């Protein structure tokens, strides 16, 4: 039963209780026999999967044990995790959605198994994305099997018809971006004889620096790194580098010359597509899946010519002549194993064996696509959704996807697109993704949890982020922006830098 008492202060209680429970872990290397694996996971659809559904049964046949899954609404999942950790009835496996302070405290106190030295023994858990596994760790220790997401999603989406009207090509460099954006602003790309267009559409960004905004992308392309970077043998925030200052001066030039929408500081991101669709702006720097969204919207508006409007390229080469591609974190939480439930190494190995099977080629299509002939049909190597499949079953597939790890690559079938043009564009996006991943600039600070950042980070983050917007808008000069960076340092930032480097040194 879920307890309803207040969860204030739950972290400290949880650490003590779980750490004590973990002290009884025994030795040994053989896997125990477990008939049932208990799992707690979120669901993002309206209703949780029904017990004994077709997907569950099929997955159980693959992994060879019964699955007892507690499904929790995503909206209340964080609270449920805290309540569960404070109690004495834990599952074998918990989906943990991120490295929040409570989880970090519990993990470092010994409440979860450290899997760092175990995963390589299991072929389906021995990741082919070591940078992502490192990023998902807590100060270098791996406390869960990460749930992989696309490592590379950054793209430059461009009005294809405007390029053709002006005889231009897709940009390949940041200088190309400027030239194309300038032409889209000044050279009447839609041929209507009016001065009513601009190059790059940028919305008000809800996150701070390092949250993959269009500005963040350009700063990474300039060689400033991704949130943090190595400079002089030390890990530092990217905004302390010369390359970052060079990049923001480039961005301010874009704003001053009118090639960015003038309301970029207030423009609602919910309406980001509209200027592109309505012929007011010609470039969006965002995740490449937005290209697919825009294509579908043009398909609704102009079904006979929808293939004429959208083209896409990837990350751009910076002024130094190198590609510095901006990746995502590459994961969305992880599957962690509490010691209070899994008390011995034998039991741990039994659980890992099940997770290994759950991450197999046989289980992957079940988690990602469902049941062939019921929720999808195969056309070559591509999945075609069965439209009249029961909605409850389609929702169940979406829920079971929350258990997908894909740490050795996506293990389902990619979707077949509706038309040849859409398939061509989808394949182009995947090819760009693969190529740009080779130049990914991963955040070197991602594994490390700075105590000062935990306590002050939310306040410190806004100092430079606000100053960047003020500088781009022409409200402050470069000296004032540099003063904001110094304020960040003296308000706790230098402590964060010291702590991150101390943790990185201990992990090396």
pLDDT at 22 (0 to 100)? 42
Distances 146 to 202, 279, 430 between C-alpha atoms, Å: 32, 41, 22
Strands 93-96 and 36-43: parallel
The residue-averaged pLDDT of 297-301 equals 98
Share of the chain above pLDDT 70, in %: 94
Q: What is the DSSP letter of 4?
A: -
Alpha-carbon distance of 175 to 167, in angstroms, equals 17
- The answer to whether the beta carbons of residues 310 and 294 sit under 8 Å apart is yes
- 64, pLDDT greater than 70: yes
- The answer to whether the beta carbons of residues 143 and 336 sit under 8 Å apart is yes
How do residues 12-37 score in pLDDT, each as one tens digit? Answer: 334 433 443 444 333 344 556 789 99
- 97, pLDDT greater than 50: yes
What are the residue ranges of helices labelled H in 138-263? 160-166, 174-186, 214-221, 242-256
The residue-averaged pLDDT of 291-313 equals 98
Strands 281-287 and 198-201: parallel
pLDDT at 433 (0 to 100)? 97
pLDDT at 438 (0 to 100)? 96
- Residue 82 has which token pair? 């805290």
pLDDT at 508 (0 to 100)? 82
The residue-averaged pLDDT of 128-148 equals 97
pLDDT at 35 (0 to 100)? 94
- Residue 229 has which token pair? 């970077």
Alpha-carbon distance of 158 to 97, in angstroms, equals 34
pLDDT at 30 (0 to 100)? 58
Residue 324's CB: how many other CB atoms inside 10 A?
23
Alpha-carbon distance of 426 to 288, in angstroms, equals 9
pLDDT at 16 (0 to 100)? 37
- The answer to whether the beta carbons of residues 189 and 276 sit under 8 Å apart is no
Q: What is the mean pLDDT of the chain?
A: 93
Alpha-carbon distance of 280 to 116, in angstroms, equals 51
Alpha-carbon distance of 429 to 63, in angstroms, equals 34
Alpha-carbon distance of 481 to 478, in angstroms, equals 5
- Residue 308 has which token pair? 């004429």
Q: What is the CA radius of gyration of the chain?
A: 25
pLDDT at 31 (0 to 100)? 58
Question: Which has the minimum average pLDDT: 32-36, 169-173, 300-304?
Answer: 32-36
Alpha-carbon distance of 403 to 368, in angstroms, equals 10
In total, the chain counts a number of residues equal to 508
- The answer to whether the beta carbons of residues 243 and 117 sit under 8 Å apart is no
Distances 189 to 41, 232, 305 between C-alpha atoms, Å: 50, 45, 18
Residue 276: pLDDT band (50, 70, 90) is very high
Domains and CATH numbers, the chain: 36-149+330-412 (3.40.190.10), 154-326 (3.40.190.10)
Residue 204's CB: how many other CB atoms inside 10 A?
14
Q: Which long-range contacts (CB under 8 A, 24 or more apart) does 474-482 make?
A: 474/252, 474/255, 474/256, 478/245, 478/249, 481/245, 481/248, 482/245
Alpha-carbon distance of 396 to 48, in angstroms, equals 7
Residues 6+ apart with CB under 8 A from 201: 260, 261, 267, 272, 275, 276, 280, 281, 282, 283, 284
pLDDT at 112 (0 to 100)? 98
> DSSP strand E in 102-224: where?
145-148, 154-159, 198-201
- 286, pLDDT greater than 60: yes
Q: Which element (helix H / strand E) includes 14?
A: helix 10-22
Dihedral over Cα of 83, 85, 87, 89: its sign: positive
Q: Which tops the pLDDT comparison, 286 or 4?
A: 286
Alpha-carbon distance of 253 to 379, in angstroms, equals 49
């Amino acid at each position: 039963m879920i307890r309803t008492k207040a969860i204030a202060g739950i972290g400290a209680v949880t650490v003590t209780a779980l750490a004590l429970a973990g002290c009884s872990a025994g030795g040994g290397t053989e896997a125990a026999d477990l008939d049932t694996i208990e799992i707690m996971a979120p669901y993002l659809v309206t209703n949780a999967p029904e017990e004994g559904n077709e997907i569950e049964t099929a997955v159980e046949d693959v992994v060879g044990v019964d699955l007892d899954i507690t499904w929790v609404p995503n909206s209340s999942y964080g609270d449920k995790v805290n309540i569960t950790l404070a109690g004495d009835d834990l599952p074998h496996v918990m989906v943990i959605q991120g490295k929040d302070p409570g989880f970090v405290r519990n993990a470092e106190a010994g409440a979860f198994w450290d899997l760092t030295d175990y995963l390589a023994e299991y072929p389906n858990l021995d990741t082919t994305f070591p940078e992502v596994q490192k990023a998902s760790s807590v100060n270098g220790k791996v406390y869960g099997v990460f749930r992989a997401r696309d490592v590379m999603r950054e793209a430059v989406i461009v009005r294809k018809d405007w390029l053709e009207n002006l005889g231009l090509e897709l940009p390949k460099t940041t200088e190309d971006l400027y030239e194309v954006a300038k032409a889209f602003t000044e050279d009447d790309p839609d041929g209507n004889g009016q001065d009513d267009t601009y190059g790059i559409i940028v919305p008000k960004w809800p996150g701070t620096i390092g949250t993959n905004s269009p500005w963040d992308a350009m700063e990474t392309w300039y060689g400033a790194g991704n949130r943090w970077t190595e400079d002089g043998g030390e890990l530092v925030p990217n905004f302390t580098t010369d390359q970052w200052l060079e990049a923001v001066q480039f961005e301010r030039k874009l704003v001053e010359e009118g090639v960015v929408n003038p309301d970029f500081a207030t423009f609602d991101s919910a309406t980001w597509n509209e200027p592109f669709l309505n012929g007011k702006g010609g470039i969006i720097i965002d995740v490449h899946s937005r290209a697919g969204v825009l294509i579908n919207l043009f398909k609704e508006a102009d079904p006979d010519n929808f293939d004429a409007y959208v083209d896409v390229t990837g990350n751009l080469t910076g002024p130094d002549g190198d590609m510095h591609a901006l990746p995502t974190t590459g994961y969305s939480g992880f599957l962690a194993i509490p010691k209070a439930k899994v008390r011995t190494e034998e039991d741990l190995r039994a659980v890992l064996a099940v997770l290994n099977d759950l991450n197999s080629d046989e289980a992957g299509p079940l988690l990602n696509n469902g049941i062939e002939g019921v929720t999808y049909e195969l056309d070559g190597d591509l999945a075609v959704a069965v439209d009249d499949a029961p909605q409850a079953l389609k929702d169940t597939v979406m829920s079971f996807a929350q258990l997908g790890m894909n740490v050795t690559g996506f293990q389902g079938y990619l979707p077949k697109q509706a038309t040849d043009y859409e398939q061509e564009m989808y394949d182009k996006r995947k090819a760009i993704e693969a190529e740009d991943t080779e130049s990914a600039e991963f955040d070197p600070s991602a594994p490390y949890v700075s105590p000062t950042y935990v306590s002050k980070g939310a306040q410190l983050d806004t100092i430079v982020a606000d100053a960047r917007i003020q500088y781009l808008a022409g409200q402050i000069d470069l000296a004032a922006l540099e003063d904001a960076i110094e304020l960040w340092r003296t308000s706790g930032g230098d402590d964060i830098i010291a702590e991150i480097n101390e943790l990185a040194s201990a992990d090396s």
